[in-house]
Every structure is written in C-alpha cells, then in structure tokens.
Chains A and B, each alone.
Chain A
Amino acid sequence: MIGLKSASAIALTVTLVAIAAVRGALAPAYVGSLSGSSCFIVGLVASLVLALVGVGWRFGVPSRGAIGFVASRPVIVDDATGARELPGGLQRVLVLVGLVAIILGALGNHAAARIVRLPEDLGEPSPSAYCLPKSVAELAAPPPPPPPPAVDQAGCALVKRAYALGYAKTLGSCAPKTVAAAAPVSPIAKAPVCLRRQLDEPYLHYAYRRLADTFGSVGSPGEGITKRIDDTRAHLDHTDDLLADVHHAITGSPHASHHLWVNLPDPHPTTLHDRFTGVPRCSTRFADLPLWPRWQAGDESRLVEHVLGQLLFASRFGTSASCSDYTIHWNAPADACTRLVADPAAFLASEGAMASVHAVLDRRRRQIALAALDAKLGRRSLPPPPASTALVSLACLAIDHRGAPTGTTVTIDGEPVTVRDLHVDAVRVADDGPIDVYLALAALLAGIETPAVQPSRGAIEYKPFALVGLDALAEANPFAGERWPLQQPRLVEVFPFEHHLHAFVDDFRRRYLAQRGRL
C-alpha cells in the first residue's frame, strides 16, 4: 500500500511536467532564453502557490487513506496503517517541481516584463479616462492615396476597338471612368473634441464639467429639475395614449382594415367541422392559387374570391398585401354602399366591421399623439402614420346592373374614410368572363380604367409557322382588350396567362399598394 498523499504528489508532478513538456516549456532553448526576472517571478509564484497548497496538504502528516492492490486491481483503503509514505520534504519538492514546470509555460519573458512594468503602467494616465496628446506618428500626414483604378465598362469593347482603329472620333459614354478617390482628410481637422479629463485638469473641475454636461443646455441643476418635472408632466398628460399604445401592441389589434361587400353567396360557408376546428387562415387559402382555373356555372363567388386573391395576396406576383387586413362580406345587399354612406356607424356595426375599423383609427390616433409627445420631449419621433384613407377602406361590388365606379368619403370616429361602389351586370365564368372580374375589381380598388374590347384577329390554325404565330399571343394582352384568344378554347390551353397576368397584377399592385398603408 502507498499513502494517498504520496501517490497524489507523484501523479500531480508527472501530469504537470508532462503538460509543460508538451507545450515546450521544458525545452532547453526556451529555458535558456528566460531572463533573470522571469526566473525570479516563476520561482516566487511557485513558492507562493506551494505555500497555499501546503496549508491544505499538510506535508508532514501521514495519509489516512492508501492505495492497495487486491488481485492486481487498485483499491482505496481507509484508515490504512503501515502504508508506505514518501517523506514530507520529498512530497513538497515534487509538488514544487510540478508547479515550476507549469508556471514556466505560463510566465515567459513577455509576461514577466509586463509584471515588472505594472507599477509604471498603473501610474500612467489611461486613454479611456484622460485626453492624451497624439503621438508624432499620428500627427504625421498620411501617405498619398494610390491612383484610382479604371472602371471596366460592360459592352464597350467594340466601341474602344473602333476608336483605336479610327472608326469613331470619340469614345462617348465608353470613355475611361475612374472611381473618384476620397479626398485626404487632415487628422487635425477630423479629430473630434476630447471630452474626457485633461492631464492637468483638477479632479473637482472635471467633476463639475461632467455635471454640467449631464444637465446639458439647461444650464443650472435647478433648471434641469424643472425640465424633468415638465417631462414627467408631459408623460402624465399622455398616459391614455401610452397605455392604449401598449394595449394595441399586446392585443394585436389590426394594422389596417379594408372591407369589401359582395352580393354573392359565401363560397366557403362555415360548416359544423369548421365550428370545431376553426376556419383555415386566409394566408393558407391564398397561398397557392391556380393560375387560370376553369370555372363552372355556380362558381361566381369563388371566381371573385380567386381574382381578389390573385390581385392582392398571391405571392407569385411579388410584394403582396396582408390578407388579415381584408374582410369580404358575402351575401351583402346590393345597396350596401348606399346604406353605408347613409349611416356608416350603424351599417358597420350591423355588419360586424366596426370593431376593426375603430381599432385601426384609434391606433393611428394614438401614434399621432405619441409623436406629439416625442416632439414635446425633444426626442426623435417615428415617421407619421399613413392617412386614415390609406388604412381603412370600404368598397362594394354589386352584381345587379352595369355602372361606372363611384367614390365618396364618410366620416368615422372623426376621420375621413373612402367608400367605393361598383355595379356590374353579371359575373361570367366562361371564356373571357374572368377578365371582366379582374378589371372590375381593379377599377373598384385602384381606379384602373377598363379598356375597350378589341376585335378578333381570327383563329390560329396548326399549319406551318403556327408556333411563331402563337408566340405573338404574348403581345395580345387580354387585360388591354385583346380578349379574342380567350373566346377560343383551343387557344386558352396554350395562352401565356402567366405573362399577361403577371404584368397586370404587377401594374395593379404598383398603383393600389401605393394608396394603402399599415400601422
């Protein structure tokens, strides 16, 4: 058996020496390069650590436990008597050797020099606390910048060649251009004013200066207190707005509210299953709309919903509106907008639209009030919210008789809100009927004019040069009046709907989304 302390001293020493050897701290070249001060510091630190370790180790006291071997397997024996033990002095030397080895790797010449210089460094003023004079090197003028590289311009190779051969008198827009070099800045002109403590500045003066900076332009501390009272009073004056703003943020009240009344049946009437599981989110419904589906009689509502989805929410056409801001009120009366204009509050309340409209207008009003508070406090305020007409809109699509779109403004919660009304004679699902729906909704929502229908250019037959003839369909825009291809079922199959629909929706969104906003 061997005492635990002896075993530990051997194991610790071997481990530390091995680590130091692996890190190269015991290499003769490294040891030989150590300065006298380094060796002294290593010895000092090792001695101090050994003294600390010795307090707990108690080198002179024999181990209470020991490691023994039973059937060639080591076991720990408590209260072992008669265990072999290294002398205390030898244990101390072993631990010291290990400590010296590991400290040799940690404290080299550089570290020793830093330690030696520590008192001087502590006495020097810190750049983070004092304004230090710039060194000579910093004040020296910067080297002149290299000449800017010439810019290689795309598509100019032929022009340059023609110029080199004398076929052109000037290079024109292909003349060599260079990136404008930034003007050298004088370090003195650019140097910001140092507000930290000056080297020769008494501490009391520096403290006074910091206090004066804290109170800013107010001048005296008394004025600063007055300003703080004014600020608090301004906050108290706007308590309602602050709380309402927090309430809007927490409850997630709508950022905009747009309503469309249509006198067609709901294409997705709420079923018993929906009552239990909830209706699908609008973003799910409009996520993957088919490009140009075929419609059957009775699909009029679905067609209107599909067209609205393509115009506003389909992501395949780029930036879209947020469908959660929009509500379609199906089964609306044909004279919905007439009733709406006559008594907006009552009509919106009866249709369940008042809550969202009121929330948006209130949220906008609070934002304006908070912007005024920011201005009063001298804080940088956020951009003003969009106009109420951009945040709330009310529109009606009535299928009863043909009419031009009309618009008027009603006042809700003291804010102007636009009401637009359009009457069409029918919703046709066959042939070019969907084009009518696209144009009607575009006219209703964005005021886009409906073009006149162009005469037919005749049927296309599959005979030589049919492909290039059909390629010209890319120029026959049904949204601009070229409806004739859609009246030929054979052409509908190969018609470039993506091309035309993309252009139309893109144009619509550029106009419509510019009129709309969100809080």
Chain B
Amino acid sequence: MRALVVIATVLGLATTATADPERLAYVTHVLDATQALGPAGRATLERDLYTAARTDCRTTPPAVDCLTGVAHRACKNDERCELAADVVVTNLRAANDWVDQGTRAGLVRASTDYRAALAAELHKRFAALAAELVVVDAPTPAAAIDQLCVTRDRTVHACRAGDPTCVPSLPWSRCVAALVWYVGGAR
C-alpha cells in the first residue's frame, strides 16, 4: 500500500510538473494577438515588417535590436500588435534556416514576388511542424505549442538537405513563433 502511495505521488508530480506559468501565459498572449489581427491584419503586418526590415536592417539574419525597433515603429505602441510582431520578426530571423539556399534561389527565379513566395514556402514548412502537435496532449493550443517546443529537441531530427517535409532541430523561440503563426492564422 505504501509503495502504491509513493508511485502515485511520483506519477502525480510528474504529470503536474507544468511549464513555467509566465512562459505559457506569454505564448497564450501572442497566439491570441495573432488570431485577433485577422487574415488582412496579419498579411499587412507581415508585409510591413518584411519591407521595413529589408530597408533598415541589413545584416543576415537581421539584428534583434533593429527588428524590435522596426516593430515598435510599425505598431505605434499597440501592445497586441507588438505581440504579433514578435512572432513575425522571430520568423523573419529564422527564414533562412527554415528554407535552404537552393530553394530560395528557386523562388527568386520562379516568382515575381519573392516575399509572397517565401511566405508560402514557410507556410508549408510550418504546416509540417504543426502536424507534430497532433501527438501532444495539452489542455489548450498554447500549452500544446509550448510543450512541443520545449521537448522537441530532446530527440534527433536528422533531415536531408532540401527535404520540406522534415523539420530539423529548432530553438524553442523559433518553434513557438512558427506554430503560433500557423495555428493563429488557421483560425
């Protein structure tokens, strides 16, 4: 009986060992903000930040300080906009890691609007990552995103170069930004 109590306690602790509440709250906020923008608002914000980053931030990847400055100016102290902009600029910094150079060169050749083509390509990659959410058991979409991104790197993700269906190892921030943008844009 005593052993059963110990096992139950350990299992209980293991399952109730939740994520950092502040971190989870932040993921919830950025997801809500992204959804609240609506399709037109998301497209406008993404286009504006992309254009401004290309004009003002010339390093590759764009510097964090420069991107946050660009986002501040674009959002004009609107906190909800800044939360969504955080997702956009994080994805902007990660774009070259998501889409390999060969694919990007193909996009340059094959499309008249590189930004739109890149966004479409990123959407495909984000969808492949979002498919992994299916196996996550969490009470809310934000919790599922956070849980997946915290634990995802513990396993090996060996991808062949140029394989769009394989998502490589990702830092938590990039994983969350990609999933928030995909899940937030799907609702």
Task: List the A residue with the shortest CB-CB distance to B89.
Answer: A468
Report if A468-B156 is in contact (Cβ < 8 Å); known contacts: A157-B109, A494-B150, A496-B172. Answer: no
Known contacts A154-B105, A494-B23; A470 and B153 CB within 8 A of each other: no
Give the interface residue-count category, chain B: 35 or more
Q: Which stretch (B116-124, B126-134, B173-181) binds chain A?
A: B173-181
Asked whether A158 and B87 contact (CB < 8 A) given A462-B23, A464-B82, A493-B20, the answer is: no
| Cα distance, A155 to B153, chains bound together (Å) | 33
- CB < 8 Å neighbour of A467 from B20, B86, B158: B86
Asked if residues B108 and A158 are in contact (CB atoms below 8 Å), the reply is yes
Interface hits, A319-376 → B, CB 8 Å: none
Of B25, B169, B176, the contact of A499 (CB 8 Å cutoff): B169
Q: How far is the CB of B71 from chain A (nearest CB, A)?
A: 7
Residues in chain B near residue A472, CB distance under 8 A = 64
A465 within 8 A of B: yes
> Is the CB–CB distance between A496 and B156 below 8 Å?
no
A215 within 8 A of B: no
**Given A158-B108, A499-B171, residue A466 in contact with residue B153 (CB < 8 A):** no
CA distance A44 to B171 in the complex (A): 86
* Number of residues of chain A lying within 8 A (CB) of chain B: 30
Q: Is B45 an interface residue (CB 8 A)?
A: no
User: A470 contacts B22, CB within 8 Å?
Assistant: no
Q: Are A468 and B172 in contact (CB under 8 A)?
A: no
Evaluate contact between A465 and B171: CB separation under 8 angstroms: no
- A468 and B169 contact, Cβ closer than 8 Å, known pairs A291-B154, A462-B22, A498-B153: no
Contact between A494 and B172 (Cβ–Cβ < 8 Å)? yes
Which residues does chain B contribute within 8 Å of A464, judged by CB atoms? 79, 82-83, 85-86
**Given A462-B25, A493-B150, A496-B153: A468 and B102 within 8 A (CB)?**
no
Contact check, A467 vs B154: say whether CB atoms are below 8 A apart.
Answer: no
Check A469–B64 contact: CB distance below 8 A. yes
> B153's contact among A158, A291, A462, A463, by CB below 8 Å, is which?
A291
The listed residue (A155, A158, A465, A496) touching B86 by CB distance below 8 A is A465
Provide the residues of chain A in CB contact with B171, threshold 8 Å.
Answer: 470-471, 473-474, 494, 496, 499
Determine the residue in chain A with the shortest Cβ distance to B152: A498
> Given A154-B105, A155-B105, A490-B23 in contact, is the A465-B169 Cβ separation under 8 Å?
no
Check if A497 is an interface residue, CB within 8 A of chain B.
yes
Tell me whether A467 and B71 are in contact (CB under 8 A): no
Residues on B with beta carbons closer than 8 Å to the beta carbon of A471: 64, 90, 93-94, 171, 173-174, 177
A-B contact pairs, 20 of them (CB 8 A): A155-B109, A291-B154, A316-B158, A464-B83, A464-B85, A465-B85, A467-B30, A467-B87, A467-B90, A467-B177, A468-B64, A468-B86, A468-B93, A468-B173, A470-B171, A471-B93, A471-B174, A490-B22, A493-B150, A499-B171
**For the complex of A and B, 3 pairs with smallest distance between CB atoms:** A496-B171, A494-B172, A462-B26
